Amino acid sequence: MGISISMAYILAFDTCFAACNGGILNLQNGKTAVFHAPMERGQAENLVPLIETLMRENKVEMKDIAAIGVTVGPGSFTGTRVGPATARTLALARNIPVIGVETFDVYYEAFGKGIDDVLVAIDTKRDDFYAQIYKQGKKQSAFILKDLEFDGTIIRESYLADDLPDFLLPLVAQRYRESGETKFDLAKVPQPAYLREADVTMPKKAVTTGS
């Protein structure tokens, strides 16, 4: 099915790191409008208002959105959950598809294409890295890396900073066109991609001392 004139935009966003990133892309002319809002926490409360502001300023409505793209991780545990949950809610309401993209793939598309051996490394803030190797464009298994040593090209998550939406949007648009999907499908809704379980701090037992 071709792209409807009345549904000519991709909406995509990312909450995997210390920010809310997002934007819209016009599928007919490729023009984009994006937002980048740094924040250590509060993505769940701020993402939808940021989307609404961007769309209002660009005179785009949800009925104009053909598909929603979202990063699925890895990243911070809470942030990685916020994006897919929001994408699911918005897409279900409009009966449009959700396109999930691993954060590794965004960085590879931005800096690694055409390079034989690439390591994408995402700082976990816990003295190690989420890592993904691409060999001649083919993705290998993701893993946790302690020391940032690799016989090839290393791409760090800090390379994109506030430019992430500029690379996420065309990647989502490409995958949307390749998928042929036009409607919401619960079975195909992307799930958060974790490489490690969340840290859970158990409450300390109260200690009662005798008088």
What is the arithmetic mean of pLDDT over 43-71? Answer: 97
Nearest residue to 103 via CA among 172, 199, 197, 26: 172
Cα gap 114→106, rounded to integer Å: 14
Task: State residue 202's pLDDT score.
Answer: 35
The pLDDT, as a whole number, for residue 197 is 57
Mean pLDDT of the chain: 89
How confident is the model at residue 157, as a pLDDT? 84
Average pLDDT of the segment spanning 154-159:
87
Residues 93-118 pLDDT 10s = 999 999 999 999 999 999 999 999 99
pLDDT digits (tens, 9 = 90+) for 186-203: 999 999 999 875 443 334
For residue 204, pLDDT beyond 60: no
To the question of pTM greater than 0.85 for the whole model, the response is yes
Q: Where are the domains of the chain?
A: 9-103+160-188
Give the pLDDT mean for 15-35: 96
Cα–Cα distance list, 170 to 42, 69, 129, 131, 144 (Å): 26, 10, 26, 23, 28
**Superfamily per CATH, domain 9-103+160-188:** ATPase, nucleotide binding domain (3.30.420.40)
* pLDDT for residue 162: 81
pLDDT class of 183 with cuts at 50, 70, 90: very high
Per-residue confidence at 158, pLDDT binned at 50, 70, 90? Answer: confident
* % residues pLDDT > 90 (the chain): 79
Nearest to 159 by CA among 119, 195, 101: 119
Give me the pLDDT at residue 6, please: 56
The predicted structure's pLDDT at residue 205: 39
**Tokens read off for 187:** 């079975």
Mean predicted confidence (pLDDT) in 47-59? 98
